[in-house]
Chain A
């Protein structure tokens, strides 16, 4: 049981380049999330998904796109990277569809992205 995995772990881009970050979970979770972590600002939600084929905007969605074609995967894309997108990106997932109430979010190890 790997939990939540993220690919790649590190990446350096030049301004204007594009890339996709991959998140995968093996817990059969319905909900998945992408956050960015910046010094002194905690984590901020970029986009999230409540099920396969669905996506929604979070607090800081500009400059990012996402897709959830398969339940276990959630992709985060940067079409034209900017230095302001230098950050650590975390994926998380929650809720296996059983029962009600507040479920724990499980986080991946993060991707450190630098945009030059």
Chain B
């Protein structure tokens, strides 16, 4: 079946540091790929998405590019802020009902 693997956490960085969270996937066909973010005590919200190979999703300074050749969708941000502290989930959609398959999540903490 389809699966998503994220880099192990937790990740702790200083403010203004460069962020990369790795995500690789295994899938039949050509799924859409997503990054969701979960702030403390809240539900998940979409951060960005890409629907086909070589697409780049971007939002709030975060970017990720759909790389079919390496089956990857790594999340990057050039300069993180304390407010970016959250849990980040990589996911792919499968099937006609657009069901999501999630990675295990990466907890990010940004220190001032």
Residues of A within 8 A of B (CB): 4, 31, 33, 35, 40-45, 48, 50, 56, 58, 90, 92, 94-95, 101-105, 107-110
Contacts and interface: CB of A to CB of B under 8 A. Distances in A.
B102 interface: yes
B7 interface: no
Interface stretch (B13-21, B77-85, B92-100): B92-100
Nearest to A41: B104
B104 A94 contact: no
Contacts, number: 57
Contacts of A44: 102
Given A40-B104, A41-B104, A107 B98 contact: no
A48 B102 CA distance: 15
A48 B45 CA distance: 19
B103 A42 contact: yes
A103 B100 CA distance: 11
B32 interface: yes
Given A58-B99, A101-B51, A109-B41, 15 more contacts: A33-B100, A40-B104, A42-B104, A43-B89, A45-B101, A90-B43, A94-B98, A102-B93, A102-B98, A103-B98, A105-B46, A105-B98, A107-B44, A107-B45, A110-B43
